[in-house]
């Protein structure tokens, strides 16, 4: 019986002490694990070139605007931790939740990762506005907002009026 592949030992590939990658979220694909660690490290360090090199076109455009306006430098200068709080991986990609912690607390960011040849490409995904005191508190956070089914509106009342033609008897009627 074939054994399931073991998850990558991510602690062995992290070089920036601000990057946290709990083993419970480690993928079995080493290149994906290394890409996530590099991405988190570039973010923690405020390394624009490294971070930008793995972004898809829409995310690169957003980053360009943040850099031009000075927001990138302001936001990354105060980063205390970048923590992997979710990683849902498949053979062709993954959804990644990163918690960014600074002196004010931590917030959730979401990323879709896809394989493009030998490289992994990261694109931002909309995530719920979730925050906590520490990045660790966001472990396992949902990357999409829960969908709440809205109650269905009652059907419009129908009136059957014998003096109307048959084709009009089942039309909705306004009741005063």
CB count within 10 Å of CB 107 equals 17
- Residue 146 has what pLDDT? 54
Using the predicted structure, report yes or no on whether residue 37 has a pLDDT greater than 70.
yes
The pLDDT value recorded for residue 5 is: 85
**Other beta carbons within 10 Å of 23:** 10
What is the distance of C-alpha 103 from the center of its chain?
A: 22
Going along the chain from its start, the domains and CATH numbers come out as 10-148 (3.10.450.50)
Q: What is the pLDDT of residue 149?
A: 57
pLDDT in tens, 57-86: 999 999 999 999 999 999 999 999 999 999
pLDDT of 168 reads 46
- Tens of pLDDT, residue by residue over 105-114, are 999 999 999 9
Report the distance separating Cα 133 and Cα 57, nearest Å: 32
CA–CA dist 82, 49 (Å, integer) = 18
H or E segment at 32?
helix 30-45
pTM, entire model: 0.80
Of residues 170 and 54, the one with the higher pLDDT is: 54
Quick check: helix, strand or coil at residue 157? coil
Check pLDDT > 50 for residue 173.
Answer: no
Percent over 70 (pLDDT), the chain: 82
């Amino acid at each position: 019986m074939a054994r399931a592949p073991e998850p990558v030992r991510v602690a062995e590939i992290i070089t920036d002490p601000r990057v946290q990658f709990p083993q419970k979220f480690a993928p079995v694909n080493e290149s994906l694990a290394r890409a996530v660690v590099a991405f988190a490290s570039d973010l923690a360090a405020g390394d624009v070139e490294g971070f930008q090199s793995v972004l898809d076109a829409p995310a690169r455009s957003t980053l360009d605007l943040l850099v031009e306006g000075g927001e990138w430098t302001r936001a990354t200068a105060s980063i205390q931790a970048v923590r992997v709080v979710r990683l849902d991986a498949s053979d062709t990609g993954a959804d990644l939740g990163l918690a960014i912690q600074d002196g004010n607390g931590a917030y959730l960011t979401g990323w879709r990762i896809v394989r493009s040849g030998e490289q992994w490409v990261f694109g931002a995904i909309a995530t719920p506005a979730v925050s906590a005191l520490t990045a660790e508190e966001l472990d396992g956070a949902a990357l999409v907002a829960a969908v709440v089914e809205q109650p269905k509106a009652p059907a419009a009342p129908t009136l059957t009026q014998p003096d109307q033609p048959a084709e009009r008897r089942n039309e909705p009627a306004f009741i005063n």
